[in-house]
């Protein structure tokens, strides 16, 4: 029987995402000047206030208040009427040094024996229903908001947009798990107060349907664009008015959008957030590594979709185990346990090994903090960071866990 599946996304101006971006920008600045920094930064944003907290062990000095203000301004909170802007909000830092009890479990005499920064389980997922091996509902939700952000920054076709926004896409799937049509789209966007409520809502609905949606469809492959139809149920600013938003409308905290950050509810999630954590924290690095494994296995044709779990004990290098679920979609004559065993032979999942494999000691994290950590495009770029003590300029590779660089090895191992 056909079924519906829904995923949501939030914009870079959503209060939780503001917090994530500040935390990851702090992490990048620490890593840029000392790539051995151990960082766990948490951020809270609310009306007129940003609070920075967490644990850091580093040889570098970073003006954390200025970093936070720069991020807030870049997102678009630059006006006093938002009740939260980068130039005037208070910024309080309560960052202190990392616990030596944790540090002794991570740092070892032999780099290869580096222990996991915490216990827990991490999941990676991939599906062949999209070109980037991501669930379609989440992919479309992200696209809607990325395009809405472009429109806001252009300030031409639609000139009343504010930074906060959310989207949601519901897709009907057939019995054989193929997307058939889009059933519903939700878009809630913060906006200026530019008239009577009914007139504002009518204008926003018209602009979303006639400007945003066509711009998104134009970017899609024909088979995905064909899922858009005249019977889609649109819910646009369903409360009727969305002037008060951002951290003034709702307090934001680092790590509250872990499903938006990963797979939109498909697959599974171990519960650990990513932003503000250096790669010794396996909550982050192992989630990237399992995504890398899942994506390469699906791309190689091992299965149509695959979920990979890895688990760790704090201070222990070897993972507790690898679990695989192919949801009955495997294309090889092996059960899921046998596929998991082959993964352990192909991919070294010790923290030090996966950190090296994915080049995670670099300042590459700010870009991950909005519109998803997975399904993004790897890119080699030059980045520059400035602090009161100097500047750092380097070439880095972003989203390395999205590279299809193990496909040939996977095919050889599985006889494909």
- Which residues fall in the annotated binding site for K(+)? 42
Binding-site positions for ATP read 14, 164-166, 241-242, 250, 256-257, 273, 277
If DSSP codes are grouped into helix, strand and coil, which group holds residue 145? helix
Tokens of 149: 């952000």
273 and 283 Cβ atoms separated by less than 8 Å: yes
Residues 142 and 261: their CA atoms lie apart, in Å, by 10
Binding-site positions read 14, 16, 42, 55, 98, 164-166, 241-242, 250, 256-257, 273, 277, 281
From the centroid of its chain, how far is CA 55? 22
90 and 46 Cβ atoms separated by less than 8 Å: no
Binding-site positions for L-methionine read 55, 98, 250, 281
Q: How many CB atoms lie within 10 A of CB 3?
A: 10
Is 181 buried (19+), middle (13-18) or exposed (0-12) by CB count in 10 A? middle
Which CA distances in Å does 225 have to 2, 213, 266, 356?
A: 20, 11, 22, 39
Placement of tokens 């191992």 in the chain: 413
Binding-site positions for Mg(2+) read 16
Residues 374 and 292: their CA atoms lie apart, in Å, by 9
3-state secondary structure 336-399: HHHHHHHHHHHCCCCHHHHHHHCCCCCCCCHHHHCCCCCCCCCEEEEEEEEECCEEEEEEEEEC
5 and 171 Cβ atoms separated by less than 8 Å: yes
Extract long-range pairs of 108-114: CB within 8 Å, 24+ residues apart: 108/317, 111/352, 112/317, 112/350, 112/352, 112/353, 113/317, 113/350, 113/352, 114/280, 114/317, 114/350, 114/351, 114/352, 114/355
Which CA distances in Å does 328 have to 264, 300, 308?
A: 21, 17, 14
């Amino acid at each position: 029987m056909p079924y519906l599946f829904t995923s949501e996304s939030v914009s870079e101006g959503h209060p939780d995402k503001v917090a994530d971006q500040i935390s990851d920008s702090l992490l990048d600045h620490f890593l840029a000047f000392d790539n051995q920094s151990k960082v766990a930064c948490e951020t809270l944003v609310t009306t007129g206030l940003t609070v920075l907290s967490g644990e850091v062990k580093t040889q570098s000095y970073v003006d954390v208040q200025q970093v936070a203000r720069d991020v807030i301004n870049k997102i678009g909170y630059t006006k006093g009427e938002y009740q939260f802007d980068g130039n005037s909000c208070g910024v309080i830092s309560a960052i202190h040094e990392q616990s030596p009890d944790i540090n002794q479990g991570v740092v070892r005499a032999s780099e290869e024996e580096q222990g996991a920064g915490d216990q827990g389980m991490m999941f990676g997922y991939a599906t062949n229903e999209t070109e980037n091996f991501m669930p379609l509902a989440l992919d479309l939700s992200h696209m809607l908001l990325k395009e809405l952000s472009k429109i806001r920054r252009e300030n031409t076709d639609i000139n009343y947009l504010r930074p906060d926004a959310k989207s949601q896409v519901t897709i009907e799937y057939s019995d054989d798990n193929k997307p058939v049509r889009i059933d519903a789209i939700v878009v809630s966007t913060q906006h200026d107060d530019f008239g009577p409520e009914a007139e504002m809502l009518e204008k926003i609905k018209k602009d979303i349907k006639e400007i945003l949606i066509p711009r998104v469809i134009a970017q899609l492959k024909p088979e995905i664009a064909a899922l858009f139809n005249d019977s889609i149920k649109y819910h646009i600013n369903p409360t009727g008015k969305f002037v008060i938003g951002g951290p003034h409308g709702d307090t934001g905290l680092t790590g509250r959008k872990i499903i938006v950050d990963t797979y939109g509810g498909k697959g599974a999630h171990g519960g650990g957030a990513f932003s503000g954590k250096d790669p010794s924290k396996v909550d982050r690095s192992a989630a990237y590594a399992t995504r890398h494994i899942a994506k390469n296995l699906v791309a190689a044709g091992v299965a149509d979709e695959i979920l990979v779990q890895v688990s760790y004990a704090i201070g222990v290098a070897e993972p507790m185990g690898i679990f695989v679920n192919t949801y009955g979609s495997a294309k090889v004559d092996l059960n899921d346990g046998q596929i998991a065993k082959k993964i352990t032979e192909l991919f070294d999942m010790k923290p030090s090994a996966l950190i090296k494999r994915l080049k995670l000691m670099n300042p590459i994290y700010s870009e991950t903090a909005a519109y998803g950590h997975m399904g993004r495009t790897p890119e080699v770029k030059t980045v520059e960071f400035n602090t009161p003590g100097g500047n750092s300029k380097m070439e880095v590779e972003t989203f390395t866990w999205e590279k299809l660089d193990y496909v040939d090895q996977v095919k050889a191992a599985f006889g494909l």
